[in-house]
Structure formats: structure tokens, C-alpha cells
Amino acid sequence: MTPDVHGETITVPAAYGDTEMYVTRPAGSDDTPLPGVLFVTDVIGLRPRTRAMADRIASWGYVVAVPHLFYRFGTAEEWAPADDLLLPEARGAFFKAAMPRASTLTSDVARADLIAYLDALRSVPGVSAGPIGVTGYCMGGRLALNLAAARPADVAAVGIFHTGNLVTDTPDSPHLHLVDIEAFVLAIHADKDRSLPHTAVAQFEHALISSGVTHSATVYPGAAHGYTMSDIAAYHHEAAEHHFAELEGLFRRTLTT
């Protein structure tokens, strides 16, 4: 069932140009201040599935903004897959082209964009002055942590879901840069995720604890990387519904008008 929301795509400034941002909120709430939520997509980007997820989150009582992260390479429509990603050959072709381009969104480059997206969300009419929430998927989870560290006074809650490469041997590994985060971090890892093996899950948990980050970190059994995304083969309905329930509870506890 489609939530009773109103969504529109607007143009907002990013760090190196303008980009599209899908903004959605409960229908009829234009005159009601609501907390803001920034939705940071996976590498597949702004598309029908992520818009639908944002609509569902908005129906809980939030203004949700989903920026097109890859504006340097064209519009959201130009970035999105041309073919059905449930087909292995289409999936392979998309990721072969997308991953090298997405890798240019380094930690420093991404942070400038993320701050611009947060400011754009703040400027949307009807977004309350209180703290915001951020939810990130796959690579978007790493970006969500990056923003929480950059703007700790603004971000009260972070959800990260099936996020890989949280522990790497590079200086910008996310697990090395948690100390500035003041938000509550909810992490629900995928059990079958080659980009975050169980040893890395344990290392990331240790880093959260040693950095003093208030958090809940769990592994959903049997779920694969990408389990929330119904337009790819990794989708796991029960895990996706669990993520929605946990995220709703997180925002209810942490976000106020």
C-alpha cells in the first residue's frame, strides 16, 4: 500500500554544482514543522525503489530528502540502470560502469557534498529546527557516518544497513573516524556480505565502543549485501521489514520537532 505522502523532485546546490533531490512528507502537513531525514542511497542511486522507501519513512512523520549523489556524471535518470537489475547480465553491466565512477566520491569529496545536502534539507519549508536523522544503504552507510562526524550537533540518529568496507587498511577507513559522532548509530549488517566479513563486523563493533558511540549493531541471519532493495536479487523481505521497524523506532526515540 502506498503511504499517504506528497513527494517532488527539486534542484539543490551540492559542493560542485546543482543536483536533484527527491523530497517527500506526509500529505497535508505543509504547515506542520516536522523533523528532517536525509536518505543516502546505494550506488544504484535515486530511483523508484529508493523513492518508495523514502515515502514510507516520510509516512512516519518526517520530511525525507534523497539527493542524487552522482550528479557529476549526469542526471539521476542518466545514472540509473537502463535494464532490470534482476537480470544477471544487466546487473553486471551496470556495476562494471558505475563502480569506478562511484569510487571517485572519496571521503573528503563526499563530505563537502553531504554538508550541502544537509543544508539543503534544512532549507526545505516545514523542516523543524531540531536535529535530523540520516539513513544510509550500502555505500550510503559510510557516507551517513561521514556526515554524522562532520556535523555532530545536527545529526541525532544514523541508520546504516548492509554497509560494506567499514573496516579497511586505508587511512580513511570508517572505523577509524567515529570519535566525533554524537548520534545514536543503528547498524544492521548482512550475514552474507563479502564486503564486511564477520571479523570486520567485530572490529567495527570494537571501534564503536572504543570511540564512545552509543549504538546498536546486529547481523541479520541469512541476509545478503543489498537486502533492503527489492529491485535486486539480494532482496530479503523479512530483513527489509526488520530494518524499517528498527529505523522507525530509532527516529521515534531521537528526533523531535
Q: Domains in the chain, please, with CATH?
A: 5-254 (3.40.50.1820)
Letter string b/e over residues 243-254, b meaning 16 or more CB atoms within 10 A of that residue's CB: beebbbebbeeb
Average confidence score pLDDT of the chain: 96
Give every CB contact of residue 38 below 8 A, 6+ residues apart in sequence: 64, 65, 67, 117, 118, 121, 132, 133, 134, 135, 144, 147
Angle of CA points 23, 9, 56, to nearest 5° = 40
- Residue 161: its pLDDT value, please? 98
In angstroms, the CA 40 to CA 65 distance is 9
pLDDT in tens, 16-41: 999 999 999 999 988 899 999 999 99
Based on its alpha-carbon atoms, the radius of gyration of the chain, rounded to whole angstroms, reads 17
- Residue 30: its pLDDT value, please? 84
Task: Assess whether pLDDT exceeds 80 at residue 179.
Answer: yes
- Residue 2: its pLDDT value, please? 65
pLDDT above 70: percentage of residues in the chain = 99
pLDDT band at 60 (very low <50, low <70, confident <90, very high): very high
pTM of the predicted structure, to 2 decimals: 0.97
- Residue 128: its pLDDT value, please? 96
Give me the amino acid identity at 202. A
Mean predicted confidence (pLDDT) in 210-229: 98
